[in-house]
Amino acid sequence: MQPTLTCENGRHMPDRFETLAVHAGAEPDPHTGAVVPAIQMSTTFKQDGVGGLRSGFEYGRSGNPTRLALEEAIAALEGATHGLAYASGLAATQNIFYLLQPGDRLLMSDDVYGGTWRLADKVWRRYGIETDALDLRDLDAVAAALSADHAPRMVWLETPSNPMLKVVDISAVARLAAVAGALTVVDNTFATPYLQQPLALGADLALHSATKYLGGHSDVIGGLIATRSDELAERLRFHQNAAGAVPSPFDCFLIMRGIRTLAVRMERASANASALALWLADRPEVERVHYPGLPSHPAAELVARQMRQPGAMLGFEMRGGETAARRFAGATRLFTLAESLGAVESLIELPAPMTHASVADSPLAVPPSLVRLSVGIEDVGDLRADLEVAFSASAS
């Protein structure tokens, strides 16, 4: 799948993703020739007379040249016309929730990042937004929810989902939502725009925790939103400034630097994950592997249609239950036991007590025997050997 590019400032850009990832938002500086966008730290910008803005910039919270470069880049990569950057993925999520009114309903995948559910359920419910969790793979159930009295105003998909790697049909859900007058939001963090383009499939908004694959090096927290709607972009930009959860210029620079290698990192990490998923599926210690690239994945045909490749996140349930999973996760050497995902180095975690602890007693609770791997770009033989040693250690 190749993106079509339109850029916020109307510049002509090449349309192949790999080229775009390197060049979007990163034109050489016309004054200095610098090939890398400058980190502009100024918090305020000189005016030519009251209200006369020579550069279009006024105050650093409202806009900043380094942030603009990043916002142009994400718009280009998602095939959008507008990009917006935030201090974290959850700050971006919050900004999207501001589109709702008290009394509105939000329909959310029953498998999402625990923090997304916590924000909806524990914070926004207090302000009159009711969130329901549903398995959005069940299109009849989605249609029924969207035609009920007091139907949802927004549908929130995460696909592939965190941590069960469920895959939802974006275009089918977006079509149903559009007919019902609801917005479709896709958290595209796991796939990245290299593997999947939600806006081309009919979604209204694509969201990223840029902390993950876009940053790509476990050294920056950030969030991004892309849209083709002028109206939504204007409302989001108002709240971006009004609520103020914006990223620092340095953080924008780091995310831009990560984006430049996104395509090659995703190729390598996805190939590594595919090889490990096949190997894990044959291990006697493993009950079940969750990976969108396995022929046994319940949505294998949809994955082939909707994604360029299946991605680099995988989960598996250990036959020995939680005890075996805990021992296993504590026994790897190359796979670092840590939360987060999407960087060059491989990480391992147990979602139930770690990233998804906040959903323990909710419809989103996950199996305690589940191990989640974020597969990095190391040599796949070394990664396999590391897991092999951990299997031996967890059996003893």
Q: Of 187, 204, 260, 308, which is the active-site residue?
A: 187
CB-based burial, 48-58: b 16+ in 10 Å, e otherwise: eeeeeeeeebe
In the sheet where 286-290 sits, what is the strand order? Answer: 286-290, 313-318, 370-374, 347-349, 336-337
Q: Which is nearer to ligand PLP, 189 or 227 (CB)?
A: 189
Tell me, yes or no, if 326 is annotated catalytic: no
CB of 91 to ligand PLP, least distance (A): 7
Residue that the structure tokens 């090096």 belong to: 217
Q: Of 61, 175, 257, 288, which is the active-site residue?
A: 61
Among 64, 81, 95, 162, binds ligand PLP (CB under 6 A): 162
Ramachandran bin of 311, using left for φ above 0, alpha for ψ from -120 to 50, beta for the remaining angles: left
Q: Which is nearer to ligand PLP, 234 or 339 (CB)?
A: 339
CB of 185 to ligand PLP, least distance (A): 11
Four-residue CA torsion sign, 281, 196, 142, 207: positive
- How many residues are there in the chain? 396
Selected range binding ligand PLP among 67-75, 111-119, 274-282, 382-390, rule: CB under 6 A: 111-119
Quick one: DSSP state of residue 119? I
Tell me, yes or no, if 86 is annotated catalytic: no
Distances, alpha carbon 65 to alpha carbons 22, 44, 207, 290, 338, in Å: 18, 11, 21, 41, 34
Tell me, yes or no, if 251 is annotated catalytic: no
Quick one: DSSP state of residue 246? P
Distances, alpha carbon 110 to alpha carbons 57, 161, 166, 175, 368, in Å: 41, 9, 10, 20, 17
Task: Identify the CA nearest to 68 among candidates 60, 17, 77, 45.
Answer: 60
**Does 89 contact ligand PLP by CB under 6 A?**
yes
For residue 261, give the amino acid letter. Answer: T
Q: Which is nearer to ligand PLP, 90 or 183 (CB)?
A: 90
- For residue 321, give every residue at least 6 positions away whose Cβ sits within 8 Å of its Cβ, in sequence order, or none: 368, 369
CB of 189 to ligand PLP, least distance (A): 4
**Does 88 contact ligand PLP by CB under 6 A?**
yes
Tell me, yes or no, if 187 is annotated catalytic: yes
For residue 154, give the amino acid letter. Answer: M
Q: Count the site residues for ligand PLP by CB under 6 A.
A: 15
Residues 131-150 interacting with ligand PLP (rule: CB under 6 A) = none
Q: Which is nearer to ligand PLP, 221 or 324 (CB)?
A: 221
Q: Which is nearer to ligand PLP, 189 or 332 (CB)?
A: 189
Residues 216-275 interacting with ligand PLP (rule: CB under 6 A) = 221, 223
**Does 116 contact ligand PLP by CB under 6 A?**
yes
Residues 187-226 interacting with ligand PLP (rule: CB under 6 A) = 187, 189-190, 209, 211, 221, 223
Among 5, 76, 90, 167, binds ligand PLP (CB under 6 A): 90
- The residues carrying an active-site annotation are 61, 113, 187, 212
* Footprint on this chain of ligand PLP (rule: CB under 6 A): 88-90, 113, 115-116, 158, 162, 187, 189-190, 209, 211, 221, 223
